[in-house]
Structure 1
Amino acid sequence: MAFIICNMRKFKNADLKGQQIHNQREKESHTNPDIDRNRAHLNYDLLHDKRVDYKAMINEHIEKNVETKRAIRKDAVRCCSFMISASPEFFEKLSPESEREFFKSNLEFIQERYGKENVMYASVHKDETTPHMHVGLVPITKEKKLSAKQIFNKVEMKQLQEAIGKHNEKFGLQRGEPSDKKYLEIHKFKLEADKEELKAVSLKKIEMEQAVDQISSRLDDLKKTAFEAQAVDQIEVKEKGGLLTAKTVQMSKEDFAQVQSLAKAGEVFRKENKKLEKELADERSKTSELSKKNRILEARNKELELENRFLKRAINKFMDVFKEKKQEYMIIFGHLKARVLRQMNMKITDNHFENQNELKGAQHFLYEEKEREKTAPKKNRNQDHEMER
């Protein structure tokens, strides 16, 4: 059985440009290997025929529709982006037309639930492993306030999953797996982050090794130059003078120019030699540190992989137990709902319960209540305890 997938992320003003670039494929991504550039032309937006400026569009909508006497905080959430998809096997049997109808239906679901006017984009990606849609919503409340926290509280997020699950039953989909799966996603994210860091460290290590090679090469050049300087000893000179006059030497003009050049370069070579030796030692030290960090990351990577496998087994075990107890939990939940409704002096109707198991729990509550009232004073028996249809 395939599942409907729906999750939501919050974006602040500074995040909008990045979201726009990702959704509209404005730049080539080097961090997401799942993107196939050859299929990018298959992507589309159900609300726009061409690329749009997310930041300008969203901020203009906020300015026109939010009523507040105070300036909106810079760190306020300005866009809640839903990612809507399904299990990969669901898309295998769909035609392009049916697939588009699936995304369009879920867009209309979001528009109806949170206000059509507040939905800014609906970008469908078909160039990744599994087709999915990003729907951007500006979180404006009925009181015209900008507040993602007020709209998407814990109750609403749970009810949203229930509602979108029911909405997609017509496509043969079930509600997605329990939120316990998020722990796997967190560890998967950490694992991928460590892999990226490991890759960056490896690249840096290669760069350092190349720098060491370059410095070594420069040292070799200096040694070669110094060797060539020894050729001065082979320059032919003639001695002149003696006894009554100072002794001098005679050499060709070209040889003299060579001696002058080597003499000037000698001090420069010595200073450069010391400088390069220091750089070489520093680069080797950095390379050693990177190797150490590399080993630490590899160990951490293995540790996360083991923890990831353990969590998968634990969650699978939990899911098996949950499936066995699900019907029992629903009956208990229906019993609890009926009890709360009674305490609130509200009439108990079928509409308050979402399935037959919850109704069984409510009926059991009413039966217990009648049994208790058989021994209660008559003045308390005039209350209607039948469930309205």
Structure 2
Amino acid sequence: MAAPQYAILRFAKYKGPEISGIEAHNERTKEKYASNPDIDPSRTHLNFHLIKPERKYRAESEKQIAEAGCRTRSDSVRVVEALITATPEFFKGKKRAEIREFFNEALEFIKQNQAPETIISAVVHLDEKSPHMHLCFVPLTEDKRLCAKEILGNKKKLTQWQDKYWEHMVKKYPDLERGESASETGRDHIPTRVFKQMARLNKQHDKLAELLSDMKFTNYKERSAQIAAFLEKYIPDVAAMETQMKKYEKFFKTADGKQKALEKKNDELTAALEKSEKESTVKKLQEMRLHSDYERIKGILDRIPPEIIRAYTHRDSKTQEVHHYR
């Protein structure tokens, strides 16, 4: 039996400084992407735009907001990103022209439901595991108000977005099935890149633990210098992860209470259950493990001798994050 092919549409809202981060990822403006090993730089030239940005994302959003005469607050959503794709099985055997046709069709769907002139960029990535499109727009309503909440709505409206997206795409691609919305899975979507960041931090944690465990009287000075140097990357990376974890704080507050029930449910899953349901449960468990991993990679800082911390801060006096964790 062939694996199901799902139409996938997800939204993310961005308010300020993080906009430049998603722009760097979407537009591939960085030379290296250590935090995302799935990016294959030798294939980046295959990426293509359906809509090219005329200026920086933040600058374009501020321009449109000003022209619309909208008032903003520091916590106003200025950019909405739609991630548009399908499960990998859908793209198997498809040529570049067929892939472009699929994303053009998806772009038409967005244009029918959001003013085309508000779209900042629509770029298709072919240099990762599965083709996908990042489409960013300024959340201006038809009557020129800045209101992402009205456009994306509550859980019910997000479900309607999923319905409409599938109904639009299935006309041309009848094998596509409707994907799950965040409201149906009972969770907000945590991007894959966050899990990749944590995987990298876990490796760094293990290396740091190895250095700490190997400290002896005979090599103390050498190991101290190595650990202080290692902290120059580790502590900023932990600080960056803290920013991500705060973003999903609401999810993690309810996660602990659900973990045992989900683990029990996962144990009881049988072959009779749909693969998609099993994957959804496993995904939830992965998200909760993310929280415990974060506590682990942060906690090791308490094992570092104070004199090594002082050596680290002396090496880079600008780094202040360490005081936050001790």
Gaps of 5+ in 1: 219-278, 287-303, 324-389
Q: Distance in 2 between matches of 1:184 and 1:307?
A: 19
Q: What displacement does 1:212 show?
A: 7.2
Between the aligned partners of 2:141 and 2:272, the Cα distance in structure 1 is: 37
Q: How far apart are the structure 1 equivalents of 2:79 and 2:195?
A: 28
The residue number in structure 1 matching 2:164 is: 163
Change (3 A) 1:318 1:213: farther
- Normalising by the residue count of structure 1, what TM-score does the alignment of the two structures yield? 0.52
Instruction: State how 1:194-209 maps to structure 2 within 5 Å.
Output: 195-206=199-210, 208=212, 209=214
Runs of 4+ in 1 over 3 A off after TM superposition: 177-197, 205-218, 304-320
| 1:163-182 Cα deviation digits (max 9, x unpaired) | 10111112121211354446
Change (3 A) 1:159 1:64: same
Offset, 1:106: 0.6
- Give the secondary structure class of the aligned counterpart of 1:77: coil
* Aligned residue number for residue 132 of structure 2: 132
Structure (1 or 2) with the larger CA radius of gyration: 1
What is the match of residue 46 of structure 1?
50
Superposition deviation, residue 89 in structure 1? 1.1
> Does 2:112 correspond to 1:112?
yes
Change (3 A) 1:37 1:80: same
Residue 25 of structure 1, CA deviation: 1.3
Whole-angstrom CA distance in 1 between matches of 2:272 and 2:78: 37
RMSD over equivalenced CA pairs, Å: 3.9
Checking the alignment, whether the CA contact within 8 Å between 1:184 and 1:311 is kept in structure 2 is: no
Distance 1:83 1:312, change over 3 A: farther
Secondary structure in 1 aligned to 2:84? Answer: strand
**Matched-pair contact (CA < 8 Å) for 1:141–1:147:** yes
Asked if structure 2 preserves the Cα contact closer than 8 Å seen for 1:39 and 1:126, the reply is yes
Q: Is the 8 A contact 2:35 2:193 kept in 1?
A: no
**Could you tell me how far 1:143 is from its partner in structure 2?**
2.7
Q: In structure 2, what is the Cα distance between the partners aligned to 1:318 and 1:76? A: 46
Find the partner of 1:22 among 25, 31, 36: 25
Query: Which SS does the other structure have where 1:82 is aligned?
Result: strand
State, as a whole percentage, how many aligned pairs show the same letter.
Answer: 29
Q: Distance in 2 between matches of 1:141 and 1:319?
A: 42
How does 1:76-115 map onto structure 2 within 5 Å? 76-115=76-115
Higher relative contact order, chain-length normalized (CA < 8 Å, sep 6+)? 2
Taking a change above 3 Å as real, the CA distance of residues 311 and 188 of structure 1, as seen in their structure-2 partners, is farther
Provide Cα deviations, 1:125-171, integer angstroms capped at 9, x if missing partner.
10111100011111111232111112211232111111101111121
1:309 to partner: Cα distance:
6.5
**1:175 aligns with one of 159, 174, 178:** 178
Letter in 2 for 1:12: K
What is the TM-score with the length of structure 2 in the denominator? 0.62
Structure 2 spans left out of the alignment, 5+ residues:
232-257, 278-326
For 2:81 and 2:6, the matched residues in 1 are separated by: 20
Following superposition, the deviation at residue 62 of structure 1 comes to: 1.3
